[in-house]
Structure 1
Amino acid sequence: MWSFFSRDPSKDFNFEIGELVPSLGDKSVWALHKGKKKVTSEEVSVFVFDLKNNSETHLEVAKAAVKRLKTLRHPSVLTYLDSLESEKVLYLSTEYVDPLIDHLQNLTLERPQKELYVAWGIFQITRALSFLNNDGNLRHNNVNIWSVFVNSSGEWKLGGVEYVSTTQDAAQNFKVIPSLEVYSPPEKNDPSKQRIITKCSNDMWGLGCLIWEVFNGPLYQQSSLKNIDKIPKQLGPLYYELVSSNPSSRPNPADIISRCRKLGGYFKNDLVDTLLFLEEIQIKDKNEKNRFFSNLTPHLDNFPDNVCKHKILPQLITAFEYGDAGSAVLAPMFKLGRLLDTAEYQKKIVPCVVKLFGSNDRATRSRLLQQLEHFIGHLQAGTVNDQIFPQVAHGFMDTNPTIREQTVKSVIHLAPKLSYNNLNVEVLRHFARLQSKDDQGGIRTNTTVCLGKIAQHLHPQIRQKVLISAFIRAMRDPFPPARNAGVLALAATQQYYLLSEVSSRILPSLCQLTLDPEKTVRDSVFRTIKGFLGKLEKVSEDPSLRESMEADVNTATPSLSNAAATWAGWAVTAVTAKFYRSQSDTVKSMNPVTSRMLSKPGSLEQPSSSSISTTTSSVTSMTSLEHEDGSRGNDSVSDYDYNHWDDNDNWGDMETGGQMASSSGSGCATGTSDPTSPPSGSGPATKVTDGWENEEWGSLDEEPEAELTSPSEAWSPSEITPIILPETKTNNSSLSSHINHRNPQTTWEEHEFEPLEENPGTNSAKLEEAKKKREERKLMRQKELEARRASRTTGGPMKLGSKKF
């Protein structure tokens, strides 16, 4: 009658029972099922014992296992969650695990990774046995491949606690599962050896059986233990001790750990060292943590992905959020972030990234910028524009040159995600100031290269206004690598220029560098001029090609299929790769070694046949230079090797020098000069603007008539003659003044390079007179240069940066 009010207790079980895992079979009294928590859907494992189909003896063993597992808490012992007994079934819920036999069969690791991982697994089981035998005074009595399980983090967990007994009790060698008798030690049937059994001898025999099964598969007969061909040589002596017929000669598990953790031991490897350090990270001091995290990144490639994702990465995030690990944890954390899917990355890594960008610590900001390429792809555009870019932009004005340089380089990765205003206004405003005012030649060079790399992301109208003026300004920089960067950037972005601009602005500017003191700059100039002339010649022969040549000028996403784009294949490779390694330009640019600091673009070495067949005739003339340059193998220096720019290369780091600062106290404060004060030196009487206060880019392409007051003012000798390197100086202030002397404008304006055109409202006689004066000045300057060269020749070789009178 009371059955109406009774209910099935299993309905109160907080876990859903899923599919059966068949691999345990007849090796356990339990049937293993996959399961989930009803509330959170978290995956678990559920061991099920069917009361109706098993004997009372089996039930006692199962109940003993539940009771024992409740009281055992250790990192290498299977974690108990819950249990429930009903009239029909006994449930035992644990963390989600797979049987070791299944895990090893599905393991796809390469040999080096697998060796490290198996050593870590055997170490964990040995540690668990040491805990039972020495700390708990217990014997496991059932150590074999069927009693070991592996969780999602790749950790080996000791289960199968059905036969656990105390060390005071007689050794439990009786198994209710007949198939497990093969794991019974030999002293079971030898009464003479019962008196020399130790508290750990039974379990050490089982550990020997487990080691054999890890490398050979399940054990079916004890005689197979003699076959040790597949067991690592490092484990050979230990294995012989474990399967010794004498129980007293089997070592204690604590002694095994101590011996194998010594240098050269089986448990002494990078994976075990790393995971043990992370387990004890809370008791490590700050210096130990920084040293550990700094050395961790190169080892991660040899660790299994599941261990990295579920074991190491959570520890790194915790160490960063709640510990004092510092910025050293960033490199390994971002490297492991690639293992996460989009949702996990947004949840775990992005909040850390946003928090880090708000840090005032320079070391943290520097590491973030260096690692940007590893996580930028996971960031949403809104997060980049609203939370990250405003913090990054502060680096453009940092007094530390290293931070400024890394900030410039970071724009390469940020550009595709930046909004119109952030990219076309804010970034270009900072670039204009850095290119004209920064006292580090390397930063000015990298600014030019970076502009060439992000050109495809700029708005077409902004691109037309900025690129030519910016690159021509770079071509007038006193720092040779900066001039070369300007030339190569023009070539790499040639598809964005109208042919009218090529003929009226670009070629005249390039021609002025044909007499550059640096041979490498001259070589780049001549290659680029030949390329541009080839385009013009082709269009002159067939005007219908003009449309295809200018197809990308007004497009937001340029096509690489037209002839204009394929022409500059070599230049694109040259300018879109490794950036110039920054130097103290007042020292390095005056060093004699700079006369051989650049080599030809890497892509000139082996031009593709498809590119040659589809491009214009100019390619033929350009590629003919490859053979001429092929003999100049000694004309390059690695510190200046920015011609072989490749997207997979690093940009290079700021090298410490007399003027380089490694902290905020470097003294290299950029932009400290008053932008409203008139510049020193000669130049056209134009308004000095730096693109900083007014943010005005429309003035970049002003008409010559609106800007020039007289022909002589527009074409002053200091502006039309080739740039001569200044005298050797040892401080940055002299270089800064020289830069200001050469570049009074601080926005990318190119008025002085505009061709002088006749205006109907201008007196033709004055124009003619101005042209004659200009020609006279050119001739005088040419004679002066020839005289200087002659004096250098007669006086012996002249070192770069020195002057001879």
Structure 2
Amino acid sequence: MWSFFSRDSSKDFPYDIGEQVPGFESHSIWTLHKAKRKGTQEEVSVFVYDIRGGSEGKCEIAKAALKRLKTLRHPSILQYLDSLETEKTLYVATEAVEPLGITFEQLATDIPQKALYLSWGVFQITRALSFLNNDGNLRHNNVCAWSVFVNSSGEWKLGSLEYVSPVDGNPMPPHKVPPALEVYDPPEKNDTNKLKASTKCSVDMWGLGCLIWESFNGPLKLRSNLKDIDNIPKSLQSLYCELVGASPSNRPNPADVITRCRKPGGFFKNDLVDTLLFLEEIQIKDKAEKNRFFSGLTLHLDHFPDNICKHKILPQLINAYEYGDAGSAVLAPMFKLGKLLDEAEYQKRIVPCVVKLFASTDRVTRSRLLQQLDLFIAHLQPQVVNEQIFPQVAHGFLDTNATIREQTVKSIIHLAPKLNYNNLNVEVLRHFARLQARDDQGGIRTNTTVCLGKIAPHLHPQVRQRVLVSAFIRAMRDPFPPARVAGVLALAATQQYFLLSEVANRVLPSLCSLTVDPEKTVRDPAFKTIRGFLGKLEKVSEDPSLRETMEADVHTATPSIGNAAATWAGWAVTAVTAKFYRSQSDSSRPRPPLTGRNLSKPASLEQPSSSSLSTTTSSVTSMTSLEHESNDTSASASDYGNNDWDNENWGEMDVSKHSYKFIPLKNFLLNKYQFHFIYLLFFFVFWLDITGPK
């Protein structure tokens, strides 16, 4: 029974107290320890005061600090979590922090980034002092590097509230117990005449001046060192001299400091402070302001400290999209900052957001996701891609907007390595067959061929052998010149997947027909490819034992590296793997008949921008729901049939083994002009018959 009353009550404290943070105890009556919350393992900090080892005065100061910390709530004041008082010890748990005094060496060495970071930190402490002096009518009385704490987000928090006092009390600065803190006492402490001229904020403004000096020079050793202003930015020197001036009445109010430094050219007027203040007030911003802000944010992120980007800005971006109306403009900066996370954090914080975004019916969001797929695809697990991402992406193949269709095609380049057999070898090829044969945009038909050449190594060998030649020959009969070029280049780039018999019987005859193509940009690669294939056949003719080497990759899932058979086609491999056709805005023109040749000037194959894939039509418009084509969607991988290459009407007829399409009856009916012509012709013949000589 007695053991119950004598048990250690600290066991009820819901935190596991860890190692002590060295160096802080010489500037405070507390010792600071790293700690974790029991159960969740969330990192926190615990301030510990030894009641038995201290005097009664120190104990009163410690309890006063705890009382103030509980009651003062402000974004720039240290966040209180919990506390426990026992007979021996006083425990105070706060957010996880480190004293600024021991983190000076960890500040970034890059001068522009360091200046930005320090401006945000000093701004936060100035804001906290304005809250205390002006709103709370309180003096802090202990502002220095050892009363400021830095959390994981890089934010500065004002703590060490042991000496807080009302502004209408005794103006004399309190006596501080640790001797090391005396260097921060203002000069009027020892001058009664100057003390009479003190204001409610003069002591704290002196401390702010000391903090500014330490931010750029390191810990303050002697008060006389405050005269050295060489390392303080010029935009801050005039204000600094006022803060550490001998006359307390001339020291500015913290609210005035913020106003002056937030003006153009001021120390607090920069991209970092502007960004973080906007994020703090994002809930009261309208949608237009948010879009402008997020659209310009990506350019500034490279100049911001990583810890602020990772722990402060990124969570705000995620919340802004999930719970606000930030729109798709937030995606670019969010994915850029996602690179700062380790894999476990990325899976926890970014991947669920990505999955949710792909389910969005907003076209602008879908477009930006497809454009930036390369930024996050490496972090997506194959199961997530196949079960949650690809079904949403596949809708884009059927979208009525040509831009979405084209970006969907290009996205398969990044998705292919993670797609399962059915999604890649059946679903993707089914959509590719329909787009290549029936899409009214020449650019989309071209890029479908290019994409098929890029993903060829990921296709199943049997599907690859059945599909590639037929698909590329189909492209070589396209009326759009760049599509024909893409077909030729893709044939050459994937030549290691073709049987020699197929090369002789199907590939070369089709290539030969392009040697008389109206466009020289088509004829040139055709001749080059023909020479390559002929050289390959000639080598095997001279040495039949090379056949096995030449056909080594036809039936293998993992192509061999450095295959000698592929060396002649290196130019084509480079072209196909590096370039997409940059489509023009040709949506206003109807697609020319597929049985003829389009004699328009060919467009070049260009390297796409990494930040923005090419489009085929005007800019994407935001819509509340996706609209899908109601045209035929029954095309499958079998559309690339063995006899497809010699079918002249592939645009009108599906030559799949199992299904055929009849040409509509209206194609056989006469239009009104043809009918009138035939009617007049018959009338003329009839008139000649009745009026001619008998």
TM-score (norm 1): 0.76
Helix, strand or coil at the partner of 2:345: helix
2:349 maps to 348
1:64 maps to 64
Query: Which residue type is aligned with residue 149 of structure 2?
Result: F
2:614 maps to 652
C-alpha distance after superposition, 1:270-291 (max 9, x if no partner): 1111111111111111221222
2:672 maps to none
Deviation at 1:9, TM superposition (A): 2.1
Name which of structure 1's ranges 362-371 and 119-128 shifts more when overlaid on structure 2: 362-371
Aligned counterparts of 2:191 and 2:350: Cα–Cα separation in 1: 60
Out of 627, 638, 651, the position equivalent to 1:697 is 638
Contact 1:97 / 1:150 at 8 angstroms: preserved in 2? yes
Deviation at 1:530, TM superposition (A): 2.7
Aligned counterparts of 2:655 and 2:627: Cα–Cα separation in 1: 21
Change (3 A) 1:703 1:165: closer
Q: 1:593-672 alignment to 2 at 5 Å? A: 595=601, 597-598=603-604, 641-642=605-606, 644=607, 651-656=613-618, 662=621, 672=631
Deviation at 1:445, TM superposition (A): 0.8
Contact 1:441 / 1:584 at 8 angstroms: preserved in 2? no
Name which of structure 1's ranges 499-508 and 121-130 shifts more when overlaid on structure 2: 499-508
Change (3 A) 1:367 1:230: same
Q: 1:254-269 alignment to 2 at 5 Å? A: 254-269=255-270
C-alpha distance after superposition, 1:95-139 (max 9, x if no partner): 100111333312346333222111111111111111111111111
C-alpha distance after superposition, 1:48-103 (max 9, x if no partner): 11123322222222111111111111111111111222222111111100111333
1:135 maps to 135
Contact 1:552 / 1:558 at 8 angstroms: preserved in 2? yes
Change (3 A) 1:663 1:322: closer
Deviation at 1:593, TM superposition (A): 13
Aligned counterparts of 1:279 and 1:212: Cα–Cα separation in 2: 28
Aligned counterparts of 2:234 and 2:655: Cα–Cα separation in 1: 70
Q: 1:146-185 alignment to 2 at 5 Å? A: 146-171=146-171, 172-185=173-186
Q: 1:503-522 alignment to 2 at 5 Å? A: 503-522=504-523
Name which of structure 1's ranges 332-341 and 554-563 shifts more when overlaid on structure 2: 332-341
Name which of structure 1's ranges 121-130 and 562-571 shifts more when overlaid on structure 2: 562-571
Change (3 A) 1:412 1:226: same
Deviation at 1:301, TM superposition (A): 1.9
Residues 1:204 and 2:166 are matched in the alignment: no
2:241 maps to 240
Query: Which residue type is aligned with residue 484 of structure 2?
Result: R
Q: 1:541-560 alignment to 2 at 5 Å? A: 541-560=542-561
Aligned counterparts of 1:255 and 1:649: Cα–Cα separation in 2: 43
Helix, strand or coil at the partner of 1:334: helix
Aligned counterparts of 2:224 and 2:575: Cα–Cα separation in 1: 67
Q: 1:260-279 alignment to 2 at 5 Å? A: 260-279=261-280
Query: Which residue type is aligned with residue 73 of structure 1?
Result: R
Deviation at 1:671, TM superposition (A): 7.1
Aligned counterparts of 2:59 and 2:109: Cα–Cα separation in 1: 39
Deviation at 1:669, TM superposition (A): 8.3
Deviation at 1:458, TM superposition (A): 0.6
Uncovered stretches (5+) of structure 2, i.e. residues with no partner: 593-597, 658-694
Deviation at 1:158, TM superposition (A): 0.8
Aligned counterparts of 2:496 and 2:612: Cα–Cα separation in 1: 26
Query: Which residue type is aligned with residue 498 of structure 2?
Result: Y
Contact 1:173 / 1:188 at 8 angstroms: preserved in 2? no
C-alpha distance after superposition, 1:348-396 (max 9, x if no partner): 2222222222222212222222222222222222222222212211111
Residues 1:83 and 2:24 are matched in the alignment: no
Query: Which residue type is aligned with residue 263 of structure 1?
Result: P
Deviation at 1:661, TM superposition (A): 7.4
Aligned counterparts of 2:21 and 2:599: Cα–Cα separation in 1: 70
The RMSD of aligned alpha carbons is 2.8
Contact 1:477 / 1:742 at 8 angstroms: preserved in 2? no
1:601 maps to none
Q: 1:324-723 alignment to 2 at 5 Å? A: 324-585=325-586, 595=601, 597-598=603-604, 641-642=605-606, 644=607, 651-656=613-618, 662=621, 672=631, 692-693=633-634, 695=636, 697=638, 700-702=641-643
Change (3 A) 1:160 1:580: same
Aligned counterparts of 2:153 and 2:627: Cα–Cα separation in 1: 49
Deviation at 1:518, TM superposition (A): 2.2
Helix, strand or coil at the partner of 2:357: helix
Contact 1:69 / 1:80 at 8 angstroms: preserved in 2? yes
Contact 1:515 / 1:522 at 8 angstroms: preserved in 2? yes
Contact 2:443 / 2:584 at 8 angstroms: preserved in 1? yes
Helix, strand or coil at the partner of 2:556: coil
Contact 1:149 / 1:158 at 8 angstroms: preserved in 2? yes
Deviation at 1:27, TM superposition (A): 0.9
Helix, strand or coil at the partner of 2:34: strand
Query: Which residue type is aligned with residue 38 of structure 2?
Result: K
Query: Which residue type is aligned with residue 517 of structure 1?
Result: P
Contact 2:70 / 2:80 at 8 angstroms: preserved in 1? yes
Contact 2:65 / 2:161 at 8 angstroms: preserved in 1? yes
Aligned counterparts of 1:18 and 1:663: Cα–Cα separation in 2: 53
Change (3 A) 1:65 1:389: same
Contact 1:17 / 1:35 at 8 angstroms: preserved in 2? yes
Contact 2:640 / 2:656 at 8 angstroms: preserved in 1? no
Aligned counterparts of 2:473 and 2:167: Cα–Cα separation in 1: 86
1:23 maps to 23
Query: Which residue type is aligned with residue 37 of structure 1?
Result: R
Change (3 A) 1:694 1:260: closer
Name which of structure 1's ranges 232-241 and 107-116 shifts more when overlaid on structure 2: 107-116
Deviation at 1:748, TM superposition (A): 8.9
C-alpha distance after superposition, 1:450-470 (max 9, x if no partner): 111111111111101111111
Deviation at 1:329, TM superposition (A): 1.9
Name which of structure 1's ranges 207-216 and 48-57 shifts more when overlaid on structure 2: 48-57
Query: Which residue type is aligned with residue 416 of structure 1?
Result: P
1:803 maps to none
Deviation at 1:545, TM superposition (A): 2.6
Residues 1:315 and 2:256 are matched in the alignment: no
Q: 1:190-201 alignment to 2 at 5 Å? A: 190-201=191-202
Q: Percent identity?
A: 70
Change (3 A) 1:318 1:502: same
C-alpha distance after superposition, 1:547-594 (max 9, x if no partner): 22221111111122221234333222211123111223478999x997
Helix, strand or coil at the partner of 2:451: helix
Change (3 A) 1:747 1:698: closer
Contact 1:560 / 1:566 at 8 angstroms: preserved in 2? no
What is the aligned residue count?
650
2:112 maps to 112
Change (3 A) 1:669 1:67: closer
Query: Which residue type is aligned with residue 250 of structure 2?
Result: S
Query: Which residue type is aligned with residue 92 of structure 1?
Result: V
Helix, strand or coil at the partner of 1:490: helix
C-alpha distance after superposition, 1:188-219 (max 9, x if no partner): 11211112111111111111111111111100
Query: Which residue type is aligned with residue 35 of structure 1?
Result: A
Aligned counterparts of 1:505 and 1:202: Cα–Cα separation in 2: 90
2:32 maps to 32
Contact 2:372 / 2:611 at 8 angstroms: preserved in 1? no
Contact 1:437 / 1:746 at 8 angstroms: preserved in 2? no
Helix, strand or coil at the partner of 2:23: helix
Aligned counterparts of 2:465 and 2:57: Cα–Cα separation in 1: 87
Change (3 A) 1:514 1:239: same
Change (3 A) 1:594 1:339: farther
Contact 2:32 / 2:48 at 8 angstroms: preserved in 1? yes
